[in-house]
Chains A and B, each alone.
Chain A
Amino acid sequence: MIVKRVFSKKILWTLGILFAVFIGLQFFANPVSNPEVNTETVIKAPDDVVAIFKKACYDCHSNETNLGIESKIAPFSWFVNKDITTARSRFNFSTFDTLSSVAKQGLVWEMVNMVLNNKMPLASYSAIHPKAKLTTNDVNRLIEYAESLSPPVYHDTTAIRLAMEQYDAVVASGKPLEEKLPVAATGIAYIKDFRNWQVISTTNRFDNNKSIRVVYANDIAAKAVKENQINPWPEGSIIVKAVWDIVEEKNGDILPGQFNNVQIMEKDSKQFSDSEGWGFAKFVGLERVPFGQTASYNATCFNCHKAAKENGYVFNIPLPNGELLPITDIE
């Protein structure tokens, strides 16, 4: 009987201390705050599209966060605050209209792909907020909206002229580029002889980034592709993507326009430990000007590449044989 009373006393004391700590924590709860919303800068999109964003994204990606009381209680509030701060730094619907048209298009396509790849809304969030789950109609409407922002331009005479001028200039100059290779802010140098590497795929994009591409792999990466040893990719893998603008015709033809850029991904887990070992670089134009002023460019690239996590964070590799569609002839 005495033992039981001492035990109960101990439990009460422990509970009391825990409660006191819990109350104390609330002074440091730091719940997320909502900065004032300026109607001038909020996203301008059709009402039904905004409604989709509001139900699935606004709690984290806007200054109109409206979560339950639990989000204001420490220690949960700390995690919520961290997630929302990160989400708002990626993009914020309350300040969306301050972005350039190009940036807005890019983000909308990224949203579509995050949704299609089940990366967003976060599973942990939709489990607690089932109303945030998107229906098939919602997803189709988002796709339709993204496509409406980036319509095709047929027989673009400017693109045709630029491509011809660039080709003529290269043929006329006939001189090789300087041997000194440019280096990107991420520390990755331009690779001169990638044209001799294995081509692993060709892609063309109809999103905000209309272009046609050829993707190359060095010996290590090419072997990894063929043997499907890409999760993770072996150290030393290098993938190079050559990108050209496109000339699009109404008959469906997609022809290469002027050369646009070369993009490089290098697997070096020591140097790029924050991005699953991948380092990124982009060299623009025939002058091969490094894109991105600081090494933080690596994080920007990696954020998008997270969509291809199942492919070891690489987008443009051929599908495994078992997933290829059978050959069809369009009549």
Chain B
Amino acid sequence: MKRLSNLLMFLVVLTGCKHIEDINEKREVFDAKGKQVYTVFANRMDKTMSVVYGNHTAVLAAASGLTGLNKGEQLTIVTYQEEIDPFWYGSNINGRIKSIEQLTLKRPEDGVKGWVYELVEGRRPKSKNGNLTTNFDRIQEILEKRPVVFP
């Protein structure tokens, strides 16, 4: 009986190790759920890198230079920790996700008017002066970034 329980214990430990090994070998990518890249930026002092995704309405608005006018525009800001690319010194690459934020443009009929901020995951990035930002500050910070141009 003792032998059997030892064997079971051994198998449990072995399976657990294998599970951890499998997780360690996986590589995570963020699922933007159909949104497209709106802009990208980084800060080498904070060691952060951000990709901003926009839904169809936001991407169309950016292409026409009229961001912030159409109800339903939505931006998702994914901020990663920066890491040195192990294969190329001279390049930084994104590491773990530090935060996910979302801005949605609402209209009076939604009960609110203007951009609504939501922290989906992690901690809100600090402002440039090191203080915690208000929702309003953070919205301004994001909207100041120019959308990237694609061919």
Contact = CB atoms under 8 A, between A and B. Distances in A.
Contact of A317 (B27, B45, B49): B27
A252 B27 contact: no
Interface in A103-151: 109, 112-113, 116-117, 143, 146
Contacts of B146: 163-164, 167, 255-256
Interface of B: 23-32, 36-37, 39-47, 49, 51, 63-65, 80-81, 83, 85-96, 98, 123, 128, 130, 145-151
Contact of A320 (B27, B65, B123): B27
Contact of A222 (B29, B49, B64): B29
Contacts of A208: 90
B151 A286 contact: yes
Contacts of A198: 29, 31
A12 interface: no
B88 A167 contact: no
Nearest to A182: B151
Interface extent on A, as a size class?
A: 35 or more
A251 B100 CA distance: 23
A321 B29 contact: no
Nearest to A115: B89
A319 B93 contact: yes
A207 B98 contact: no
Interface stretch (A15-23, A32-40, A224-232): A224-232
A25 interface: no
A199 B151 contact: no
B70 to A, nearest CB: 15
A248 to B, nearest CB: 8
A315 B151 contact: no
A327 interface: yes
A308 B27 contact: no
A202 B40 contact: yes
Nearest to B148: A256
